[in-house]
Structure 1
Amino acid sequence: MTTDLVALDIGGTHARFAKATIGNDGAIALDEPITLRTSDYASLNTAWEDFARRSAQPVPRNAAIAIAGPVTGETVRMTNNSWVLHPSRLDDQLGLDEVTLINDFGAVAHAAARADASDFLHLAGPDRPLPETGTISVIGPGTGLGVAQFHRFADGTYHVQATEGGHIDFAPLDGIDDAILARLRARHRRVSVERVVSGPGIVDIHAALAALEGRPVPDLADKAIWQAGLEGGDALAVAAIDRFCLALGSVAGDLALAHGARAVVIAGGLGYRIRDTLVASGFAGRFRFKGRYEQMMAAMPVKLITHPQPGLFGAAAAFAREHLT
């Protein structure tokens, strides 16, 4: 007997909904997702109602909800949008029988744990599959910086641990990093790695590089900088993306050390968009640059997950672990 549910992946900018089916063998199939902008809706309830109107089929009475924020207590506040969720009331509010609520990068870690080897691209370190046992860090720059980890056991099972690792302190490694930190510190009480290693973080990287060269600080949105840098026509934007890749390498290495990881998975649409730049940049060098542990870091594979909807797939996997095993 199969189980149908709605998988939701709610980030700072978009909420993605898709019907998911879990087979008797645990295999997960996703329908084509419907993507809504969170800023267009007052709450999850109103977005759910719009999804139900758009859906061509009856909406299942089960749901797996991945959200960008810590899943604790009776009130869950989203990290990068204004929605507030009340976990104990979700089943009544949305008319559901069973609900799984999970941190969005906890869901991505479920996806990384379950994905086929063909769903990964090699970025750095030895070109071999993810290890069958041990801890694997999962890191994804997007609207914010998502961080999770999962541990694989010898019996083939795994355990996911969601974290708020994107909010650790930013640690500069050279003079340019110092300039980026100084710019951010002038406007924020505290500078986390998410201020630098996220899609919007490119704005301050770009502006700091302009100031270092004595140029006027351009007033550009993050999307414009990413586009100009990836197209290669704007040297300053190209340099900003290269610096972003360095920072991501440093942070990924720090988190791998903190997690005791044996491998790292980079996730998210932004990571996929800059995949070629990551390979050609100083990402791998910064990842390895950990003093006495440089040799250990060099032996660690770093992969990019290419599954088209890891948050939705992982949310459904988390539902299966909670309700079907």
Structure 2
Amino acid sequence: MMELVTVDIGGTHARFAIATIADDGAITLGEPETLHTKDHASFQTAWEDFKQRQGGTLPDAVAIAIAGPVGGDVIRFTNNPWIIRPALVKEKLGVSSYTLVNDFGAVGHAVARADAEHFIHLAGPEQPLTNDGTVSILGPGTGLGVAHLWRGPTGDYRVQATEGGHIDFAPLDSIEDAILARLRKRHNRVSIERVVAGPAIVDIFQTLAAMEGRATMEEDDRTIWTRGMSNKDSLAAAAVDRFCLSLGSVAGDIALAQGGFGGVVIAGGLGYRIRDSLLSSGFAERFRAKGRFENLMSEIPVKLIIHPQPGLFGAAAAYAKEHLA
């Protein structure tokens, strides 16, 4: 059995926890601590803050999930001023071993290792994700994370983080044509991230309002999501439903592109918050609606991962795979 620090760093928050990896490979997380990145000048000072909260001592191994590419001599964050120099991790943090992994790569590791109880069935046959083949993973949040997981017949697996959220958006009806037209006024190229990430609900809502000739106030995405999920605003609720339809189309496209015929997993906090809407919307129909491949798509199980800390859990799993396998 060993302990390590596991960290999940985004633009706004850095989450820390102590993870225990048992001799049989089972991973257990301690109570997470969430720190605001704006409150700390660097990752090292945030690390020292967490260390003090843990009584002044930490395990001498760390796994870090990072919202961005993890290659190169210097890792920079898009939405906070921190930098990490991999060559100095051992010295600066006082650890003997470490793993760095892309945040959505960490989610892929979480999908590979999470128990069945951490998944909700969304569409397709009610069967487990494949143990021999490819599973596609996507998560709408501030952006759209995309990865895939390959499992082999011997129990081995590989995770590949991608930039699949930046492929082109393909509208399927006149409403999506109108959404695309609105977005094209600001972007020469419209990616799927512009339509099926959290902030996209604003453009969807404003497009629907314009189609009905309604005058609306400029509102942020959180406000529209709140009104839409409460069903107290029919137009905002229609925007949420449209988001679910588009997400279904995108999830199906990703599965076709990656060969994710062993299953598709929706990840992220937004996916969890809209789970009831996904089940009651046309998400499943849109997922299957791939012309000649509709029968194939109908055989793919689609799940929602509901692990409370997939980034922290997945980073620990990535460490175990790199150092303990």
Using the size of structure 2 for normalisation, the TM-score is: 0.95
Partners of 1:7 and 1:96 in 2: CA distance: 12
Match of 1:292 in 2: 292
Partners of 1:13 and 1:208 in 2: CA distance: 29
Match of 1:283 in 2: 283
Where structure 1 has 5 or more consecutive residues not aligned to the other structure, the ranges are none
Where structure 2 has 5 or more consecutive residues not aligned to the other structure, the ranges are none
Instruction: Supply the AA of the counterpart residue of 2:45.
Output: T
Instruction: Say if 1:12 and 1:165 are closer, same or farther in 2 by CA, change over 3 A.
Output: farther
Match of 1:88 in 2: 87
Match of 2:307 in 1: 307
Instruction: Supply the AA of the counterpart residue of 1:156.
Output: G
Shift of 1:291: 1.3
Match of 2:178 in 1: 179
- 1:151 pairs with 2:161: no
Match of 1:207 in 2: 206
Partners of 2:117 and 2:228 in 1: CA distance: 29
Q: CA-to-partner distance for each residue in 1:115-149, whole Å, 9 max, x for gaps? A: 11111110000111111110001111112111111
Aligned length: 324
Shift of 1:56: 4.0
Match of 1:322 in 2: 322
Instruction: Say if 1:168 and 1:219 are closer, same or farther in 2 by CA, change over 3 A.
Output: same
Instruction: Say if 1:43 and 1:306 are closer, same or farther in 2 by CA, change over 3 A.
Output: same
Instruction: Say if 1:94 and 1:166 are closer, same or farther in 2 by CA, change over 3 A.
Output: same
Instruction: Say if 1:17 and 1:122 are closer, same or farther in 2 by CA, change over 3 A.
Output: same
Shift of 1:81: 4.2
Instruction: Say if 1:210 and 1:289 are closer, same or farther in 2 by CA, change over 3 A.
Output: same
Partners of 1:320 and 1:204 in 2: CA distance: 42
Partners of 2:180 and 2:124 in 1: CA distance: 29
Shift of 1:189: 3.9
Instruction: Say if 1:241 and 1:82 are closer, same or farther in 2 by CA, change over 3 A.
Output: farther
Instruction: Supply the AA of the counterpart residue of 1:160.
Output: V
RMSD after superposition: 1.6
Using the size of structure 1 for normalisation, the TM-score is: 0.95
User: Which has the larger displacement, 132-141 or 47-56?
Assistant: 47-56
Instruction: Supply the AA of the counterpart residue of 1:83.
Output: W
- 1:269 pairs with 2:275: no
Partners of 1:68 and 1:221 in 2: CA distance: 23
Percentage identity across paired residues of the two chains:
64
- 1:137 pairs with 2:136: yes
Runs of at least 4 residues of structure 1 off by over 6 A?
none
- 1:61 pairs with 2:29: no
Instruction: Supply the AA of the counterpart residue of 2:226.
Output: Q
Given that 1:68 and 1:80 are in contact with CA atoms closer than 8 Å, whether structure 2 keeps it comes out as no
Partners of 2:132 and 2:149 in 1: CA distance: 10
Shift of 1:174: 1.5
Instruction: Say if 1:233 and 1:37 are closer, same or farther in 2 by CA, change over 3 A.
Output: same
Shift of 1:217: 3.3
Instruction: Supply the AA of the counterpart residue of 1:230.
Output: M
Match of 1:70 in 2: 69
Q: CA-to-partner distance for each residue in 1:140-190, whole Å, 9 max, x for gaps? A: 111211111111111111111111111212222222112222222222343
Q: CA-to-partner distance for each residue in 1:177-227, whole Å, 9 max, x for gaps? A: 122222222223432211221111111111121122111232111111111
Alignment of 1:117-132 (within 5 A): 117-132=116-131
Secondary structure at the residue paired with 2:199? Answer: coil
